Amino acid sequence: MILITGGLGSIGSHTARSVLDLGESVVLTAHRSTALPDYLAGEPGGRVVVEPLDTTDEATFLDIGKRHEITGIVHLAAARHDLPDPVEYLRADAFGLLTTSTPPGCGRTPGSGRSTTSRAPCRTTSAG
């Protein structure tokens, strides 16, 4: 199951469609809306799961990993665009990237590209 942060945005939802077409199931996260686009809504039960997530909330991120068998991550979420301070925006965006660089339950060291435990290795991809 592939976790796609920002999975209900335009790029994220089309990425999800492509991943589904390849035979994978997806967990889509979104900070606000949880409504599926029509082109994802017709999937058989369990192939598309939507989870609310602020990528700076590490506990919620890890909880998603405990509830789903995540085998890869595509990080497409951006920080909230309404943060008034540009430094705070960059901090939130960077923290979100760091949070998703440590896949829940994947047994990976960020940036190492190698599995560090006996669990199935994860694939991590970022749009940034």
Q: What is the distance of C-alpha 112 from the center of its chain?
A: 19
Q: What is the pLDDT of residue 78?
A: 75
Buried b (16+ CB within 10 A) or exposed e, 33-53: eeebeeebeeeeeebbbbbeb
Q: What is the pLDDT of residue 123?
A: 55
> What is the C-alpha to C-alpha distance for residues 60 and 38, in angstroms, rounded to an integer?
27
The mean pLDDT value for 113-121 works out to: 37
**Cα separation values, 47 from 57, 73, 94, 111, 128, Å:** 24, 15, 29, 28, 26
Nearest to 104 by CA among 92, 117, 91, 89: 117
Q: What is the pLDDT of residue 21?
A: 95
Nearest to 31 by CA among 48, 12, 6, 10: 6
At 50 the three-state DSSP class reads: strand
Look at 68 and 109; give whichever has higher pLDDT.
68
pTM beyond 0.75: the answer is: no
The mean pLDDT value for 42-46 works out to: 87
Q: Please list, in sequence order, all residues whose beta carbon lies within 8 angstroms of the beta carbon of residue 61, skipping any fewer than 6 positions away.
A: 53, 55, 99, 100, 104
The mean pLDDT value for 104-112 works out to: 45
